[in-house]
Amino acid sequence: MAIKYEKLIPRFLEYAKQNTRSDENSTTIPSTERQTEFLKKLAEELMEIGMNDVKIRKVDSYLTAELPSNIDYDVPVLGLLSHVDTADFNSENIKPKIVENYDGKSVIKLDEAGKYTLDPAVFASLKNYAGQTLITTSGDTLLGSDDKSGVSEIMTAMEYLINHPEIKHGKVKIGFGPDEEIGTGADHFDVKDFGADFAYTVDGGPVGQLEFETFSAAGLKVHITGKDVHPSGAKGIMVNSMLIASEFQSMLPADEVPEMTEGDQGFYLLCDEQGTIDHTDMSYIIRDFKRDGLEARKNKITEIVKALNEKHGEGTVKIDMKDQYYNMYDIMKDHMDVVRIAEEAMKNLNIEPDEAPVRGGTDGSTISFMGLPTPNLFAGGENMHGRFEYVSEEAMEKAVDVVLEIIRLNSQKK
């Protein structure tokens, strides 16, 4: 019989209602004060449930804690990580809605007017959740399952072990960090101080996801300077930066966008554009599974900038482009024993591992390159980063089950 974790969903609902959105334009760590406040609340909760060595580290603003071993022999130290920030979508006044015993075929009305719906004809994944309890948005915000689900699941697993001392386990280190969604959260992560031998991020999607291959990623800011004069005398003088922005976008491959790619295909994604005749700013993310593929995409951007400046004048288009993270498989291929433990845990629970490359990234990508092998486990969420996000209670329970089974397997005497 499956374990029912009584505090799991109330904990998630409480976390989800708290705005912890990060801000890519900030220069502070964390990027928003609201993340710091949430981390402080989590620290208090960790102490209340009985975790040891609870602290928020100045170097990276990670909240870390330790569950001491209760066995008399040595096993590797296991780490579990999740992030507290949510994506660049409305995160104010989040009002999660609960749909009990969903039938797998009905259209779910998110807002009162029915402007936004979860329709199985559009979101086929809904058909997988017949008979389950769903938690959705109210249509005007995201939900924050990415990664409040992971935070809730790790917290619940730790509390369960503390309340059941008869369950044997080695030392477990946990970490809740900021700013994953803007790609900077793990930049200063202190692997040595964390003290784990291997780790998992609990930050994936549907049940069974086990990810050890990610995109390599870069972020791009485009700054275009125009010349604004009165239209009555604009001929030969006016330079409309918004039109040059359109020109920039048109010079990228039209079919290499997220909505037209899948599997191991990379893309360019225009995330934001703000402009006037005088000045336009554009924000992109660039993704490719291969490192040389990422470099080729960056070179394409450089070529476009050169061509536009030759046409419109030197300095018209300027860019800030930087790498964010790399495909963790470059590291994980030499640490597949960490993957095997997670595979065994899932199979012991009759969950089939889904090991498709993830079309995204996690803090585990950065942390793996720092020397701590860190693949990614599912946390249960679907349609993440927007108003159509949802998660099922049963999926979250299975995530806790997997975490506990990994801990159990790791505690076995070798």
Active site residue 259: no
Is the torsion defined by CA of 12, 338, 355, 296 positive or negative?
positive
- Is the separation of the CB atoms in 94 and 100 below 8 Å? no
**181 among the known binding-site residues?**
yes
CB atoms within 10 A of CB 157: 25
List the one residue out of 45, 375, 367 whose CA is nearest residue 201.
375
**Dist. CA 271–CA 289, nearest whole Å:** 20
**Annotated active-site residue in 85, 159, 393, 401:** 85
**Dist. CA 285–CA 305, nearest whole Å:** 16
**140 among the known binding-site residues?**
no
Q: Is the peptide bond before 85 cis (omega within 30 degrees of 0)?
A: no
Tokens linked to 13: 């609902």
Beta bridge partners of 318: 223
**193 among the known binding-site residues?**
no
Q: Is the peptide bond before 190 cis (omega within 30 degrees of 0)?
A: no
- Is the separation of the CB atoms in 199 and 373 below 8 Å? yes
**Annotated active-site residue in 88, 147, 153, 180:** 180
Beta bridge partners of 220: 284, 321
**223 among the known binding-site residues?**
no
- Is the separation of the CB atoms in 356 and 219 below 8 Å? no
**393 among the known binding-site residues?**
no
Active site residue 320: no
Q: Which residues are catalytic?
A: 85, 180
Binding residues for Zn(2+): 83, 146, 181, 203, 385
